[in-house]
């Protein structure tokens, strides 16, 4: 099942998306949220999780592995082999 992430979530930077996800998890763990609200919170949390995962994968793809010369100085950068 492919889920589209709402535009307001796509616009969030990683740190804000993660903070909101943590808030939602805390609310759901308390167990005092009505069922319908819990379902909505869970759906938003899942979208936030997906966005965080996407942002992390993009960041991993940009990480560079630095090659050092014999004196230990950086001589080139190579893309990290993303799995």
User: Over the stretch 15-62, which tens digit does the pLDDT of each residue have?
Assistant: 999 999 999 999 999 999 999 999 999 999 999 999 999 999 888 776
Helix (H/G/I), strand (E/B), else coil: 62 = helix
pTM over 0.75: no
Spell out the domain ranges in the chain: 7-79
pLDDT of residue 59: 84
Torsion angle, CA of 43/6/10/35, rounded to 10 degrees?
Answer: -20
Task: Provide the pLDDT confidence category of residue 73 given band limits of 50, 70 and 90.
Answer: confident
Q: What is the mean pLDDT of residues 63-78?
A: 65
């Amino acid at each position: 099942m492919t889920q589209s992430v709402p535009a307001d979530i796509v616009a969030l930077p990683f740190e804000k998306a993660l903070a909101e996800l943590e808030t939602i998890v805390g609310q759901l763990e308390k167990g005092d949220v009505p069922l319908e609200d819990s379902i909505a919170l869970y759906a938003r949390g899942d979208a936030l999780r997906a966005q965080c995962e996407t942002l992390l994968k993009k960041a991993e793809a940009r990480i560079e592995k630095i090659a050092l010369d014999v004196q230990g100085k950086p001589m080139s950068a190579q893309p990290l082999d993303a799995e």
